[in-house]
Amino acid sequence: MPIAFTQHLDRPLLRDITALAAGIFIVGLSFGAIATSQGVPWWQSTAMSLFVFAGASQFATMGIMTAGGGLAAGVAAGLILNLRHVPYGMAVGGVYWTSLRAKILGTHLLTDQSTAFALAAGDDARKAKQTYWTVAVSLFLVWNAGTVIGGFAGQLVADPAVLGLDAALPAILLALVMPSLKDRRTIAAGLLGTAVALAASFFLPAGVPVLLALVGLVVMWKGANGKREERA
């Protein structure tokens, strides 16, 4: 069982996962509360979190639909945002592609965070697998719990958006990448990707600028090639 993997993970890693889960729980609360305040029944937002399980895409889809954009536009926005999961799956698919059940479950639970933690394990395949499942299952549970609680709590708050709960996820992600920003190539890749995304956001639909930010990886690729040449 995925939960059993936690016994092999070191304390600092478990601490980081716990901190991340706490942040995701808060964002789940925000999603449930905001959805309810927009007139969405709690069971619909709960079903969305259970069967879609894609934070940013859920916010985008819900926002477009409640603003009158229609189902097709909302689903399209969610699909565009989730296109980033294609390279994620290619990067860490080997971690959970061990059986048909694991493939289905592992693909459904694939997120930015589970991918990042699995990749951070490096070449240690066992640790990567343990980390992936621990993060994936933990976030799935807290996200759905947060959505349900937020859905009911939203009925008591006139405007949940003013609480700023939607800022929790970006803050958590920033905290996770901060240690990696000591490397110059990583900083350069991040800055290039950010610049491309910001520029594209003025004339491209939501979701596309984020995908274009992957251009920043060119810096990492060139740097890796340079190191190979030096070794040769």
> Using one digit for the tens of pLDDT, what is the confidence trace for 100-153?
888 889 889 998 888 888 888 877 888 888 889 999 999 999 999 999 998 888
pLDDT score, position 13: 83
pLDDT score, position 10: 78
| pLDDT greater at residue 61 or residue 206 | 61
pLDDT score, position 198: 87
183-192 confidence digits (pLDDT tens): 777 788 878 8
Mean pLDDT check: name the lowest of 21-30, 65-74, 88-97.
65-74
pLDDT score, position 146: 93
Q: What is the pTM of this model?
A: 0.68
Provide the CB-side half-sphere exposure for 38 (13 A, CA).
20
| pLDDT greater at residue 161 or residue 58 | 58
Mean pLDDT check: name the lowest of 74-83, 112-121, 142-151, 204-213.
204-213
pLDDT-derived band at 228, boundaries 50, 70, 90: very low
pLDDT score, position 135: 92
| pLDDT greater at residue 208 or residue 35 | 35
pLDDT score, position 1: 39
Residues 6 or more apart whose Cβ sits within 8 Å of residue 79? 57
pLDDT score, position 230: 47
Nearest alpha-carbon partner for 78 in 215, 166, 205: 205
Write the burial class of residue 142 (CB in 10 Å: 0-12 exposed, 13-18 middle, 19+ buried).
Answer: buried
| pLDDT greater at residue 134 or residue 64 | 134
Question: How many other CB atoms are found less than 10 A from the CB of residue 225?
Answer: 10
b/e map of 62-88 (b: 16 or more CB within 10 Å)? bbbbeeeeeeeebebbbebbbebbeeb
What's the CA gap between 77 and 232, in Å, rounded? 45
Taking 60 as the threshold, does the pLDDT of residue 2 lie above it? no
| pLDDT greater at residue 130 or residue 6 | 130
